[in-house]
Structure 1
Amino acid sequence: MPVSSDRLALENWPWDLTAAFQTLPESRRWWLALSGGCDSTFLLYCLSTLASRHSITLHAIHLHHGLNSDADQWQRHCERVCEALRVPLVTEKLALDPEKPDLEARARRARYGCFESLLESGDRLFMAHHADDQAETVLLRMLRGSGVRGLAGMPAQRRLGGGRLVRPLLGLERARIEALAGDWGLDWCEDSSNQDTRFDRNYLRHEVMPALERRWPRSGPRIARSAEHCRQADRLLGELAEHDAREVASGTGVSVRAFAGLADARRQQLLRHLLIRHGYQPPGERRLTTGLEALLKAPEDAQPELRGEGYRVCRYQDRLWLVPDLPDPDADAALQWRIDAGLDWFSTWLTAEPREGAGIATFGGERFGVRVLAAGQRFRPGPDQPRRPLRKWLQEHHVPPWERAWLPLIFHGETLVAIADLWIAPAWRVTVGETGWQPVWHRPWQLLRAVP
């Protein structure tokens, strides 16, 4: 069926489609996630019309998952459609092992990781999720025990990488989009895997939602309306969390003692809020509850932590810290470091800067050995001081316990020259008027900040 150019004209769009694009996001460049299915193909034609009218550059991106025998055919379809519309197309292939568990979740992470890598500051990525997708998302999250934030469903817009993700079709149902696409004479691909009810979302789509519709007609819009109520509640909870964040603020961080003074529900909500603000996914309710209890109530000499996906929250003195998961340092590691170059030190970064009157007295190209802290290691802090345990000295200088495990010790032969950027041996320090090389250890952990 040929594409109907008259109906494609912006002036001939029906009111509900015009309303979906009533507020266009300001951007110099648009991207569209194009699968080749009905929804994304329909959105491609919509955006192509709008981009031409508003002189905006539109690109499409197609992700080849390599999991379906028809994947090459879908890619060729996307190429033909984009060529006809003169829309540049980027194709990326994802390496996914279908035999490993959690295929749906792994594929989703791979897709969004690819999208983030493409988006630059100010870019907008459009996705063709619609009202039925929203209802399925809310039901899935409900069955997983999600809270208010999860039950709010997919937002119409959110930050993604350097740009923003936009879902303009959330107000339209699948049947409406298919009807409009048919009226326009569009051609699209059908993904046979969408019929496979082994996947949770497909089971909901083909087994659960039809049963709900038979018993409670227009269940999808009702679920979407409930999601909007949850979204409003989540905004109010966010405002409350911002108020509590100011109440527990102490310098740039949060006071653990003040944090503990909040009611249970409020401190849990505050921690979720702060983790999301820092770009981390909060752990599940059980882990968050037990971990937060330990962080706030463990004895002062304990080392409690709350573990999340790819990070942990640690307590040190009256502060909470975000510590990303790093490879464990090798106790026998002894790397060579040219002091005027950077060194990858177990996923941390060690450099040195030339400074007048500070740093190690050496020329730029000299090499040093870098090792980790050894059990029972002792050193002499000053020429008139006795040798003492290095761990005790680190405690006195308020070095957090997790930092000690990765602490780079800088040697020349068997002589300890420097302890990261905390201490330089007196015999190796430059004198006044000389320029030395000051070590700088770039630590990846950070204070859990109360304010942005």
Structure 2
Amino acid sequence: MTHPVVRTLQDLAFQHHASRWLVGFSGGLDSTVLLHSLSAAQLSTPVVAVHVHHGLSPNADSWQRHCKAVCDSLEVPLLTQRLGLHSPTGNLEERARQARYQAIKELTQPGDVVLLGHHRDDQAETLLYRLMRGAGVKGLAAMGEHRRLGNANLWRPLLHYSRAELLAYAREHGLQWIEDESNQQLHFDRNYLRQQVLPALTERWPEASKAMTQSAEHCREAQSLLTDLAILDSQQLAERPEPGGCSVDLAHLRALPPRRQKNYLRYWLDERFGVSISRQAQVDIEQQLLGEGTSVAARIFVAQVQLCCFADRLYALDARAQWAPGADEPSLPWQTVTKPLALPGGDCLSLKPATCKGIHPDYLTGKLEVRWRQGGERCQPAGRGHSQTLKKLLQEYQVPTWLRPRVPLLFIDGELAAVGDYWVNQAFTGEGARVMALQWSFEPRQSPTSD
């Protein structure tokens, strides 16, 4: 008779095709049961074990050898990722967890399915840990059964099995596993919950972990509804991409009830940047950015994301993508106009056929170079009767204040010909099928996601 754990994996394989199964394999009880049961399922898809060598324990090398021996006995290839987590700063548990996910992510290929051995007691532990940190609905949803990880889908097929059930499986099949000595160190929060709190709760309520898993599922459903509401609200907020980020209509956001403002901002920053808003940051946003009479100088940082207001819009900008030229920034020659020109800060300039007015092609045979504002520049946009200072024109075109120093200025034979992709100087403009428009683009930066 097929064991329920094995049948669970067979059902997963039937419902979700994979080009490879990548099993996170620490050598502990959970991952040993997962790897053994996956092997016993006799699937046609290749199985690969991934062992992350943290280098934190003096036993790390022997654990790797144990994992290699287990994989050899199951005829499963083993990939080892070595890490260096020797810095004493920060939360070691959290840094190790993030490093594990990143190490596995780097190995993924399109079509892979990553399997992790988290079980029901892990889920209860996660819920308690986040509860003690004051988490909201999303945090109390704990670990999802499924999510994306790099090029792959990540599944936790054992979440509905208790540790006792996995222990019974291991003993039934005579499995050997390693015990991480750090699991007994109670100064780690999760170890304290695992060793002290959960046993006490289970003694009083034998089905405690099952009940907490159900609560996490209820929170996950509630979070899905909150996400649906945020998506509905987004339809009124006119989101648009911006250099290094995005923006939404500030008036419509202010018109939402405060609870829906909070819900949308949590959704927006998580969806676009993978960051969470702290309670204090939420208060700062409400007071400094969403209140009437907002100062254009106000800046709120949420992790690497900068929030600010300009021209009746709320901007969310990746701080890592922000760049401004120095006072002595050298000009850049553009010798081959048929190819894009890479600029500092990740920007790029290119010339594309214009649909109406643009730069007359006769001028593109001159000496082209890109400079940045030094002060005092003047320009006459096409169709204007006279020139104006660049400072005034950038204000008129509502170019955000933080972006103005970064706007590339195209000079042809020493004369200002175009300002970013905002306008062309009257003296260089033309009409017809051959005119070219300047295109200023920014390479978007990806942010990591996590549970």
Q: Structure 2-normalised TM-score?
A: 0.83
Report the equivalent of 2:395.
395
Partners of 2:116 and 2:239 lie apart in 1 by 41
Report the equivalent of 1:41.
32
Partners of 1:39 and 1:363 lie apart in 2 by 68
Shift of 1:288: 1.8
Query: 1:440 aligns to what SS in structure 2?
Result: strand
Shift of 1:116: 2.8
Q: In the superposition, relative to structure 1, how do residues 43 and 388 fare at CA in structure 2: closer, same or farther (>3 Å)? A: same
Deviates more, 1:288-297 or 1:198-207: 288-297
| Contact 1:282–1:288 (Cα < 8 Å) also in 2 | no
* Aligned ranges 1:190-339 → 2 under 5 Å: 190-246=179-235, 248-250=236-238, 254-299=248-293, 302-326=296-320, 328-332=323-327, 333-334=329-330, 336-338=332-334
* Aligned ranges 1:19-418 → 2 under 5 Å: 19=8, 22-24=11-13, 25-50=16-41, 52-53=42-43, 55-246=44-235, 248-250=236-238, 254-299=248-293, 302-326=296-320, 328-332=323-327, 333-334=329-330, 336-338=332-334, 340=336, 345-353=343-351, 355=353, 358-359=358-359, 361-362=363-364, 368-371=369-372, 373-374=373-374, 376-381=375-380, 388-411=388-411, 415-418=415-418
How many residues get paired?
Answer: 429
| Contact 2:273–2:305 (Cα < 8 Å) also in 1 | no
Partners of 2:391 and 2:239 lie apart in 1 by 27
Structure 1: which 5+ runs fail to align? 1-10, 447-452
1:239-278 CA-partner distances (Å, limit 9, x unpaired) = 33333333x2447674322222222112211221233332
Partners of 2:87 and 2:443 lie apart in 1 by 37
Query: 1:145 aligns to what SS in structure 2?
Result: coil
Partners of 1:345 and 1:139 lie apart in 2 by 49
Shift of 1:331: 2.0
Q: In the superposition, relative to structure 1, how do residues 35 and 331 fare at CA in structure 2: closer, same or farther (>3 Å)? A: same
Q: After the TM superposition, which parts of structure 1 deviate over 6 Å for at least 4 consecutive aligned residues? A: none
Q: Structure 1-normalised TM-score?
A: 0.83
| Contact 1:379–1:387 (Cα < 8 Å) also in 2 | yes
Q: In the superposition, relative to structure 1, how do residues 67 and 18 fare at CA in structure 2: closer, same or farther (>3 Å)? A: same
Q: Which residue type is aligned with residue 200 of structure 1? A: D
Partners of 1:20 and 1:59 lie apart in 2 by 15
Q: Which residue type is aligned with residue 278 of structure 2? A: G
How large is the RMSD of aligned CA atoms in angstroms?
3.1
1:199-245 CA-partner distances (Å, limit 9, x unpaired) = 22112212322333334434222222221222222222223333333
| Contact 1:344–1:350 (Cα < 8 Å) also in 2 | yes
| Contact 2:6–2:38 (Cα < 8 Å) also in 1 | no
| Contact 1:62–1:92 (Cα < 8 Å) also in 2 | yes
| Contact 1:323–1:444 (Cα < 8 Å) also in 2 | no
Query: 1:169 aligns to what SS in structure 2?
Result: coil
Q: Which residue type is aligned with residue 345 of structure 2? A: S
| Contact 2:8–2:157 (Cα < 8 Å) also in 1 | no
| Contact 2:379–2:416 (Cα < 8 Å) also in 1 | no
| Contact 1:125–1:164 (Cα < 8 Å) also in 2 | yes
| Identity %, equivalent residues | 34
| Contact 1:324–1:444 (Cα < 8 Å) also in 2 | no
